[in-house]
Structure 1
Amino acid sequence: MISSRYLNKVAVVLIFLALLTCALIVYLAQINPNTKVMQYESKLFGDEILLIDIQVDENEWQGLLADPTAKEYIPADLIINGELFSSVGLRTKGNSSLTQVAQMKDSDRYSIHFKFDKYQKGRTYYGLDTFCINNIIGDNTYMKEYLSYEIMDYSGVPAPLTNYARVTLNGEDFGFYLALERYEKSFLARAYDTTGGQLYNVKIQMGHREDFMPPGDND
């Protein structure tokens, strides 16, 4: 039988570790990365839920649905909070989550990657070159991914900006999504004030040198 003296020691250690963790979080929160304010922060990642309408040719969309795991781009008009951006690159994204939706017979609610300069070189959304909307299909709370990035930001770790989005496709309800800043040039410029450096995109079951691919079009 475990003695009360032993339990008291364990309790003291746990309390000490909890206090140490809290102190570390507070300390890290005071370490501000070299971030700068980008115009798209308030436009896309503000305090209000986004309204995103995707306008896409039906034949193009059906072609995408015929082979969603190919992740081929199609052109789409993107209306964000009433503002139109024509000919934006659109493709499916994800790995296991993409396969999961592809295997469903009653859903085509894929996570989607948008690329503003796919068809118009150099174009951005107020400085943002690309972003995605995640379907959060594995999380009934719709909070885990959002809170993870919030904790990273609070702890002083450079993290993507997020916002929730109500999405429609050709005017029809497409679901509730999490809009997410991508680890791309815009993120580097905002978080580190540079677009240089190396970014690595880790894949499932990786381990070989050739498996390490540049970020962006690989998830």
Structure 2
Amino acid sequence: MPARKNIKPLRVEYNGIKFDNVAVRTKGNLSLRSVVQMKDSDRYSLKISFDEYVNQNLFGITKINLNNNYSDASYMREFLTYELAESVGLPTPKYSFVNVFVNDELRGFYLAVEQIGGAYLERNFGNSYGALYKGEMTGQGSDLT
């Protein structure tokens, strides 16, 4: 598979479990632009891909989004939304708060959220085939063209 732009290889450790050959890239559109424009922050949201280079996963999850919650001083809105959806029986991705360290330096408190994809579909719907849509940013919101 050809390397995609802005993807960097790294080593990840999660609660003592170590992974080599993991891919990371910045994530987002609006949040990415907002952080770039901030003079006092470089807390980018990130996308971690365990299976970009080799076949590996973290408890069945191959891709995790690390959301910086830049517009939520409480760090709770997105978390509570997932928790509420889960409590009423709606399919939800796996989610958890995490501290992110880079080279043993704390980079911040993030919400880790499973990427909606094959593992999520298999767990919640019994299979991973069919159409999965993602909205595209058009400048006037998103649409599904």
Does the TM-score normalized on the shorter chain lie above 0.5? Answer: yes
Summarize the Cα distance change of 1:79–1:208 in structure 2 as closer, same or farther, 3 Å threshold: closer
Q: How far apart in 1 are the matches of 2:5 and 2:67?
A: 15
Greater strand content:
2
After superposition, the Cα gap between the structure-2 partners of 1:137 and 1:207, relative to the gap in structure 1 and judged at 3 Å, is: closer
Which of the residues 127, 137, 150 maps onto 2:70? Answer: 137
Q: Which runs of 5+ in 2 are unaligned?
A: none
Structure 2 CA distance for partners of 1:190 and 1:82, relative to 1, 3 Å? same
Q: Which has the larger radius of gyration?
A: 1
Q: How far 1:106 sits from its partner (Å)?
A: 2.7
Report 1:94-105 matches (<5 A).
94-105=28-39
The list of structure 1 runs, each at least 4 consecutive aligned residues, that deviate by more than 4 angstroms after superposition, is none
Q: Scaled by the length of structure 1, what TM-score is found?
A: 0.60
State the one-letter code of the partner of 2:41: S
Partner in structure 2 of residue 201 of structure 1: 134
SS at match of 1:145: helix
**Unpaired runs of 5+ in structure 1?**
1-69, 210-219
Work out the percentage of aligned pairs sharing the same amino acid: 38
Structure that is richer in helix per residue: 1
Deviations 1:153-184 (A, max 9, x none): 11221111211101111111101010111101
Q: Is the 8 A contact 1:109 1:175 kept in 2?
A: yes
Q: Count residues in correspondence.
A: 139
Tell which has more relative contact order, 1 or 2 (C-alpha 8 A, sep 6+): 1
TM-score computed with the length of structure 2 as normaliser: 0.89
